[in-house]
Amino acid sequence: MNPEIVRWHKEARREAFKEMKQCEKCQKPLEESRLFIHHKQYSLKGVRSIYDLSYRESSQRGIVEILCTRCHYLEGHFAETLEEFRSNRMLHSGICGICNQFASKGWQRAETFKVDFPVCKKCSKSQRDKKILVTLRTNQLNLFQHDHEIRKNRKSI
């Protein structure tokens, strides 16, 4: 991701948390680490990039809103498959393939671990689960190779 956009989000999160201590949709209390700045739109007439505006300007213009994890998920940042995530990077969330919990940015972790299911932050940080991820990846490769061999044998018959 563009470093300027990452910097904008870090500054905006700090500024937003000072002003807003709850989700704008469900009114649930927020922690700074669980706060999402949801962009309602990405283009604005007369502005080269929405990231040229400060968080405060974006908020006043109604371009962004502060949401909790669940409400952000409900806004459509959810992909069912790895292919869906790759076709639209905005669909970065999913259900963790290990613990079956909501995984914000789970598909990005899936690419890191080279698995085809979302991984939540908690599972990705656990040493035990890292071993599970490696095992799952190995099993996926073994299944793929096994399926490939079966297909190959069917063609030769």
Q: List the structure tokens of 55.
A: 């968080």
The residue with greater pLDDT, 78 or 58, is: 58
d(CA 29, CA 8): 23
Per-domain residue ranges for the chain? 3-74, 82-156
What 3-state DSSP class applies to 58? Answer: helix
The predicted-structure confidence for 51-69, as pLDDT tens digits, reads as follows 888 888 888 888 889 888 7
| The dihedral formed by the CA atoms of 15, 25, 73 and 90, expressed in degrees to the nearest 10 | -50
At 39, the pLDDT band (50, 70, 90 cuts) reads: confident
- What phi and psi, each to the nearest 5 degrees, are found at residue 44? -145, 130
